[in-house]
Chain A
Amino acid sequence: MALKTEPFVLNLGPVHPSTHGVFRMRATLDGEVVVDIEPIFGYLHRGVEKLAEQRTYTGIIPLTDRLDYISAMNNNFAYCLAVEKLAGIKVPERAEYIRVIMAELQRIAAFLIAVGAFLNDCGAYFTPFLYMFREREKIVDLFEMVSGQRLTYNYMRVGGVSQDLPEEFLPALRKFVDEMPRFIDEYDRLLMQNEILLARAKGVGILTKEQAINASASGPVLRASGVKWDIRKADPYSIYDRFEFDIPTGTVGDCYDRYRVRVEEMRQSLRIIKQAMAQIPSGPVRAEVPHLIRPPVGEAYARIESPKGELGFYLVSDNSIAPYRCHIRPPSLINLTALREMVRGWKVADLIIIFGSIDITVGEIDR
């Protein structure tokens, strides 16, 4: 005999340690089972798209740092590619390699945070998170060396990068690349076969191939569902067609697959960095670009594979010094739309894990 119960509405957030920022979910529960969920965002809205309409093309780059603040280099990269496409600027060879090295380092750093935070949500409280922060610190040290800051780098410019690498950068990077695989193995040993993690993450929050494609999910969320889609391979931007790397994919599309895909991608990023380090030429790092860029009338869309998925910048120019319209396609927001399908029928404790496995940054969702 089933007892007739009333659905209960639970607000998770906006200030909740497991919502990764100021993000709110209104969950409708039946007992402990999630019946429905409604993500409510906008608590971190700063109006970046509107602000961009009043700034020069160079002045927008600091704004893009603050979108997905844990992978600021990738945001710079996507924006600069969009402006270069719009204005038809050719980037010097050395700058392209520097950009790729920076983007891949940033990808590793972002995945370290994503995996650490996911394990944190699973209950491995802060131990793996802090181990991963130690490795991230090494990457952040390298970023500080080249750009002078640790979070909002503002390193890439339209037509190249702001400054050349200092001479102590490449030896330090080589040391990092040599050491890092050992640490990734250590993370594997730490929790990859942990029985509690397997029990909590395997088969939980399954997003099928069809659902993932229908929700136009991208990045690790899509690849964990078994779709071999990576913009670096499918639509190579910059110089990614020169490097050899694999696209790790999952099989089922559960939380464990998403976690494993991220760890595997760190290894692939290291492979790309190794190849880029071997091939990097010398030369100028910045093309001759006027101080105030006035691109011809038109529009351009440039996309990259950011750690979260497909990050796109759509710019419309009216031949003035500021864009007429700047639209950002944030991967976190699009991936979040698949959350409702993933969590239905799971318990509240699983909701936290499933949400953590999508890996969102609220700065990017609200913009």
Chain B
Amino acid sequence: MKFERYGIGIIKGLSVTIRHLLRHPTVVQYPEQRLNISRRTRGNELIWNQEKCTGCATCAKSCPLGAIEITTSTNPVENKYAVEKYQIDTGYCIQCGLCVEACPYAALYFSYNFECAKYRRWELVQDKEKMRETPERKVSGYFYPERATKLPRQTLLIERITEKD
């Protein structure tokens, strides 16, 4: 290290930080400002369609953690399986999405919600009633591209910050 160039590197570095002072902020103030999340978001809940489900339990078999519990009984009159119990312990769920991909009848979806914190452990268990699609429990477009197109476009940082310097 030569003595005469002592400090030049530091001044160069400081010029970068000073230029950053004039840039747009990258962060958003989260609870007040919200960005659109991905259309394929794997939310904290699963949504289940009772009409489409045949009780084949492919989802339960494909779950790597065994978080899905399903009990079926035969219905000889209508010649089909009746789903008696269908529940997911979202406390165990790692949101890998293998159950949604495995479902052959398109009866299981991810929700678009991500703020699903609960006060009690047992509130995390989703039963049949808590898995219905409702206006506040929206369906995500994960693995269903036709549903994804209906969701708002994801905000990207690369498009949000347009700077020329």
Contacts and interface: CB of A to CB of B under 8 A. Distances in A.
A179 B159 CA distance: 11
A154 B96 CA distance: 6
Nearest to B153: A168
A166 B13 contact: no
A199 B10 CA distance: 12
Nearest to A130: B26
Interface string B3-30: 0001111101101110010000010000
A58 to B, nearest CB: 6
Interface string A181-209: 00000100111111111110000000000
Contacts of B156: 138, 141-142, 145, 172
Contacts of B157: 134, 137-138, 141
B154 A62 contact: no
A62 B42 CA distance: 14
B50 interface: no
Given A186-B16, A189-B12, A145 B154 contact: yes
A261 interface: no
Given A131-B20, A141-B157, A149-B42, A291 B102 contact: yes
A251 interface: no
A175 interface: yes
Contacts of A62: 64, 94, 96, 98
Given A59-B98, A195-B6, A198-B9, A141 B154 contact: yes
Contacts of A131: 20
Q: In the complex, which range does the number of interface residues on chain B fall in? A: 35 or more
- Greatest chain B CB density within 10 A among A56, A134, A154, A166 is at A166
B97 A148 contact: yes
Contacts of B48: none
Contacts of A60: 64
Interface string A290-320: 0100000000000000000000000000000
A166 B40 contact: yes
Interface in B44-101: 58, 62-64, 94-98, 101
Contacts of A191: 9, 13
Nearest to B9: A193
Q: In the complex, which range does the number of interface residues on chain A fall in? A: 35 or more
Interface string B90-120: 0000111110011000000010000000000
B112 to A, nearest CB: 10
A59 B99 CA distance: 10
B124 interface: no
Contacts of A138: 156-158
B95 A58 contact: no
Nearest to A321: B61
Given A134-B26, A144-B38, A176 B98 contact: no
B161 to A, nearest CB: 8
21 contacts: A56-B64, A59-B64, A59-B98, A127-B17, A131-B20, A137-B157, A141-B154, A144-B41, A152-B95, A152-B96, A163-B40, A163-B142, A163-B143, A163-B145, A172-B158, A176-B158, A191-B9, A191-B13, A193-B12, A195-B10, A291-B58
- Which 7 A-B pairs have CB atoms at the shortest separation, nearest pair first? A59-B64, A193-B9, A148-B40, A62-B96, A148-B42, A144-B38, A194-B9
Interface of B: 1, 6-10, 12-13, 15-17, 20, 26, 37-42, 58, 62-64, 94-98, 101-102, 110, 140, 142-143, 145, 148, 153-154, 156-159
